[in-house]
Amino acid sequence: MVPLMQLALTFLKIGTFGFGGPFSLLAIMEKEMVERRKWLSAEDFTQSVGIGTLTPGPIFFAATIYIGHRLRGIPGALVCGVCTLLPSFILVLAIAALYVELQSSPLVMAIVHGISVGVIGLFVSVVIKTGRSTMKDLWSIAMVTVTFILLAFFKVDPLVLIVSAAVFGGLLLQPKTKVQESEK
């Protein structure tokens, strides 16, 4: 079982250094949870993003709660949720209280732009890893491709797509044998 203290430290780290918006945060989380500490499988991670998309609010935050619950139940969810928010909460509070002027200066914009370009490359590597873990047969390749096209080119609401994929999967993608079940 993952010690709560280690869970807390990992999410404090993500909350402290996770610059660059939701997709940067998801990429860091994937690295820490799946690759480095091996607390989750790549599929568990993808599942947590799915839950994050289905629920209201920030996807990254919802995924954090799901992972915390998955690893250590309710206390785990509480620890992860608080530790993710705490560093930026303190920082934002300090900025507000000290009346620090944080207007978007050209330098700040340049840094934000630099990070957003880096996040793309980072995120491509997450997508490739996710794809490798989930696309195992023709069915799954077809389904990923269809979802991708509907989202990228037809701007279908992601929520609608994920709900339909859940219904579709429930009806047609049930595990066929006991062997497959025990693999999970």
Spatial separation of the C-alpha atoms in residues 139 and 144, rounded to whole Å: 9
Pick the closer one to other proteins by CB: 3 or 111. 111
Of the pair 5, 154, the CB lying nearest other proteins is at 154
Write the secondary structure of 57-109 as one string of H (helix), E (strand) and C (coil): CCHHHHHHHHHHHHHHHHHHHHHHHHHHHHHHHHHHHHHHHCCCCCCCCHHHH
State yes or no: residue 71 binds other proteins (CB under 8 A): no
Is 58 among the residues that bind other proteins (CB under 8 A)? yes
Q: 164 vs 159, 167, 168, CA distance in Å?
A: 9, 5, 6
| Chain residues 102-131 in contact with other proteins, contact rule CB under 8 A | 102-104, 106-108, 110-128, 130-131
CB of 25 to other proteins, least distance (A): 7
The Cα 97–Cα 130 span in angstroms is 41
Q: Which one of residues 2, 4, 39, 134 is an interface residue with other proteins (CB under 8 A)?
A: 134
- Position 4 contacts other proteins (CB under 8 A): no
Q: How many whole angstroms separate alpha carbon 40 and alpha carbon 91?
A: 30
Question: Would you say 3 or 17 has its CB closer to other proteins?
Answer: 17
Residue 3 vs 159, nearer CB to other proteins = 159
* 10 belongs to the binding site for other proteins (CB under 8 A): no
Q: Applying CB under 8 A, does 2 fall inside the site for other proteins?
A: no
Residue 19 has φ and ψ, to the nearest 5°, of -85, 155
